[in-house]
Amino acid sequence: MAAENPDATFRSLGIVDVLCEACDRLKWEKPTKIQREALPIALEGKDVIGLAETGSGKTGAFALPILQALLETPRRLFALILTPTRELAFQISEQFEALGSGIGVSCAVVVGGMDMVSQALMLAKKPHVLIATPGRLVDHLENTKGFNLRSLKYLVMDEADRILNMDFEVEVNKILKIVPKDRRTYLFSATMTKKVQKLQRASLREPVRVEVSTKYQTVEKLQQFYIFIPAKHKDCYLVSVLNELAGSSVMVFCGTCNNTQRVALMLRNLGFSAIPLHGQMSQLKRLGALNKFKAKGQNILVATDVASRGLDIPHVDVVLNFDIPTHSKDYIHRVGRTARAGRAGKSITFVTQYDVELFQRIEQLIGKRLPKFPTTEEEVMALAERVAEAQRYAKMEITDSEESRKRPPPGRFDNDKVEVSETNAKPIGNKRKRKKK
């Protein structure tokens, strides 16, 4: 079977030349395991249920057969991809555009938090491929004149487990009711939950199931460490570790939006190029933060679990669990941001006196004892004074910006919580004078 043949090429799996060339351009030398498994089945015209996570190459596994079918019978509003989050929607669109650049494919992304009218205009142009979050799509189906899905030939439900966990079940059912029966359906999910099984029965016809586990690869290439520290010195240790990792791209995971904001501000006050990403930021700012980090404009992304699943950030060298995840499965998703596509990576988990039980659960889940990350207490504590000053400034900045939020200047319209921009957090070396109140 092709799936068992690691030497298979896109061509040998049945992909046409023009799309093989697109894979070459993307430097996809060989199909990934999920692609080896899913492509031949999809190209035979069967429904596919794929158990695979982001990072496995699953987008290519559904995008290539759709593009190939589009080449055979070109038509508008040919495929609909449902995905749980806006970030994923844009990533999928980027991959469709990159793979379809040689065949002039047009894509549109329809997600919440963005202007309905301009989306309606995009829909009126009838793209070939529509990538949408379920809530906003239903909104358009109900309110945008002339928009329907009658010409659809392909439906993809990406990250189906997350779509359902995010309570999109009602919307998905509405969509399933109106999409044409005569279509192909691909359902991708990281896990097979009861809800996913139900969705599968409701939407797929005699699907072939393919499955890949990316865990083995992760464990092999990923060096995982922990640091045991008193909670009150966490910030000092963070700064010390980041100093040591200078030049690497690092994701720092925090437990709450507030702490994410605070840590990003504190690090910026110390001269690090850190940028926050959390659910209280507007969609535009989240995308902006992600793009800056991807473009390596900022090398430290401080994030909540918003970023722990599904985001395709290819170059993360190190994942720092600054706040230990409360659900051990989130640990796997977080550290899954590094050591991807065969590259090496490192993760360091901060464990305080309050986190021992949670940490033990993580070790149980991954089935191994982690080694300590080496640190020298005196060196770390030598930073205490500077860190304390940066903490104080971060706190002031948060208070300042909370106060200014209460009294928005006339004409300014911004719903976001405190956000780090180029202007409101400067290294302490050239710090602003705080106005006496």
Residues found near ligand AMP in the complex (CB under 6 A): 28, 31-32, 35, 54-60, 312, 314, 341
Are the C-beta atoms of residues 303 and 322 closer than 8 Å to each other? no
CB neighbour list of residue 190: distance below 8 Å, 6 or more residues apart:
51, 52, 53, 54, 159, 161, 162, 309
| Dist. CA 291–CA 366, nearest whole Å | 31
Of 34 and 123, which has the nearer Cβ to ligand AMP? 34
Q: Residue 142 CB, nearest distance to ligand AMP (Å)? A: 30
| Dist. CA 432–CA 246, nearest whole Å | 26
Q: Residue 314 CB, nearest distance to ligand AMP (Å)? A: 5
The strands making up 129-132's β-sheet, listed across from edge to edge, are 107-110, 129-132, 79-82, 154-157, 184-189, 48-51, 208-211
Of 305 and 419, which has the nearer Cβ to ligand AMP? 305
CB neighbour list of residue 61: distance below 8 Å, 6 or more residues apart:
32, 34, 35, 37, 38, 39, 42, 48, 50, 52, 188
Of 57 and 325, which has the nearer Cβ to ligand AMP? 57
| Dist. CA 288–CA 368, nearest whole Å | 37
Q: Residue 28 CB, nearest distance to ligand AMP (Å)? A: 4
| Dist. CA 90–CA 373, nearest whole Å | 36
Of 124 and 341, which has the nearer Cβ to ligand AMP? 341
Q: Residue 294 CB, nearest distance to ligand AMP (Å)? A: 10
Q: Residue 10 CB, nearest distance to ligand AMP (Å)? A: 8
Of 188 and 350, which has the nearer Cβ to ligand AMP? 188
Q: Residue 301 CB, nearest distance to ligand AMP (Å)? A: 17
Of 188 and 226, which has the nearer Cβ to ligand AMP? 188
